[in-house]
Structures are given as structure tokens and as C-alpha cells.
Amino acid sequence: MNAKITTFLNSGLLEKYLLGETTSAETEMVESYISKYPEVQNFYNTLQYNLEIVTKSNAVEAPKNILDNILDELDDTPVVPLNATKKYKSWYKLSIAASIAAFLFAGTSYLFYQQNQKLNEENQVVVDEIFDLRSDIEANNKKLDEVMDQFMELNDPNTYKYIIQGNSLAKDLKTVAYINPKEKTSMIDVVSLPELPEEQCYQIWAELQGKMVSLGILSEADRQLKMIPYTEDALALNITIEPKGGNTRASLDHMVAEIELH
């Protein structure tokens, strides 16, 4: 790989291009490099793959029916009809008309009071819905920031990728560990875990010199990138079958997967 391509790959322009943050001139340059150099094309494909992994593993469903609920609340606000007061030509009916008018005024006032109370309640519902929506947006923005951090971590040249596959005790087991000794971070992506009896679970361990340190329990429900404790000077990662809830000591006779670390 020549110095020109190396300089380009280290510039970060490919990452910016993938995230849609390049200028028009930078976009033209990136697309030119991708079309001319196979090394750049391969690196770009790797970035796309890693972004897809991060995005899928952190996919979050957007809030449902919030906008519909707000519109329904607004549409349900009733229109109050105003009753016209009849005119009477005869003076002897004035007293009756006055009584009727007073009754109608009192009834209408009470009706308006009820409708106003209901409208206040409906407005409060709308305010609560909007507040919840804003909270969801803030939570999603925070989640997006976490996704981008994971994406950058995957593409850090100091991050090592380890594919951990099961032995004869768990042939379909497959997980991928990402370890960055420079940043002292560890992540794991659970790809597949064979089903266990309810009273058992999978537990992952870091092997030190003569010692096994628990890094947590693995579950099929955790099929997404997640952080695990970083262990300095770990020699290997091991996965064992343990009693439900985990164990304080690794059951080495029930080890189902292991991989040595660099």
C-alpha cells in the first residue's frame, strides 16, 4: 500500500463520508479514491459492515401512536352550540321569557364550565404526551451517541476482534469479542447461544495467570453489542455452563468455548 493511500485512510474522510458529514469537494475526493483503489474500496466495505453491526444491535423501535393520540385528543374536543333566545311580542310573556333566559344562562354557564374543565384535562393530556415525546427523543439521541461511540470503537486500529466458537458441548455457540488494550475497553456481540435448561446459564471469564475472573452472564436476549469489564493482562476468554445466576468459580469441566488473546 503506497503512502498516498495510507495517508488518505488515516485522514478519517472515509468515516465522515459514511456518516454523511463530508463537503462536496471531500465527497468527490472520497468517491474518486474508492473507484480507483481496491484497498480503499475494501476498507470502505469494512466500515459499512461495522456500521451495520452497530446499528442492528442497537436498533430501537420508535414510540408508537404518540402523534395519533395527540391528534385524537384535539379532534375529540366538542363544539358547544349556542341556543338562540326567542323573542316574544306579548308583554305578559316577558316574565316567562326572563325566567327561561335565566335558566338557559345558568345551564349554559354550567355547560361551559364543564367543557372548560374537560378541555383543561385534555390539554394536560396533550402536554403530557408532548413531554413524553421529548423524553423519548432525548433518550434516542443518547442512544445514537452510544451507537456512534461503538462504531468508532470497532474501527479503531487498536481494537482486536476475536471470534469465539463453541466446542462439542455447544456446537452452535458463537460470540464476537472486541478488545482495545489502548483504550482499555471490551465489548461482546452474542451471535448465537444454544438453548440451556432453565436452571443453567452461560458465563464468560477472563483467564489470568492461574485465575479466572467473571465478566458476566451471556444470554440470548443480549444479542447486541454490549460492554464487558476490561481485564488487564488477560491471557484468554472462556465461556462455561454454570448454575442459573452465575458462579463465583468457573466450572472448567463445563467449558464450552475458549480463545487466546494477543
* pLDDT of the chain, 262 residues: tens digit per residue: 688 888 888 888 888 888 888 899 899 999 999 999 888 888 888 888 777 776 666 555 545 555 555 556 555 555 444 343 344 344 434 444 555 555 455 556 656 666 777 777 777 777 777 777 777 777 777 776 667 777 777 778 889 999 999 999 999 999 999 999 999 999 999 999 999 999 999 999 999 987 999 999 998 776 778 889 999 889 999 999 999 999 999 999 999 999 999 7
Q: 58 by DSSP, 3-state: which?
A: coil
Distance, in Å, from the CA atom of 177 to the CA atom of 238, rounded to the nearest integer, reads: 11
Domain boundaries, the chain: 3-57, 66-152, 160-260
Instruction: With beta carbons less than 8 A apart as the criterion, state whether 203 and 242 touch.
Output: yes
Give the list of residues 6+ apart from residue 158 with CB closer than 8 angstroms, or none.
Answer: 180, 181, 182, 183
Distance, in Å, from the CA atom of 120 to the CA atom of 129, rounded to the nearest integer, reads: 14
Instruction: With beta carbons less than 8 A apart as the criterion, state whether 191 and 176 touch.
Output: yes
Distance, in Å, from the CA atom of 188 to the CA atom of 105, rounded to the nearest integer, reads: 72
Nearest in space to 178 (alpha carbons), one of 204, 203, 153: 153
C-alpha triplet 228, 234, 239: angle, nearest 5°: 60
Model confidence pTM above 0.75:
no
Instruction: With beta carbons less than 8 A apart as the criterion, state whether 155 and 187 touch.
Output: no
Instruction: With beta carbons less than 8 A apart as the criterion, state whether 147 and 160 touch.
Output: no
Q: 59 by DSSP, 3-state: which?
A: coil
pLDDT given at position 72: 61
Give the list of residues 6+ apart from residue 145 with CB closer than 8 angstroms, or none.
Answer: none
* Distance, CA of 55 to chain centre: 9
Instruction: With beta carbons less than 8 A apart as the criterion, state whether 9 and 43 touch.
Output: yes
pLDDT given at position 178: 93
Nearest in space to 180 (alpha carbons), one of 202, 203, 156: 156
Distance, in Å, from the CA atom of 112 to the CA atom of 114, rounded to the nearest integer, reads: 5
Map grid coordinates 469494512 to a residue. Answer: 46
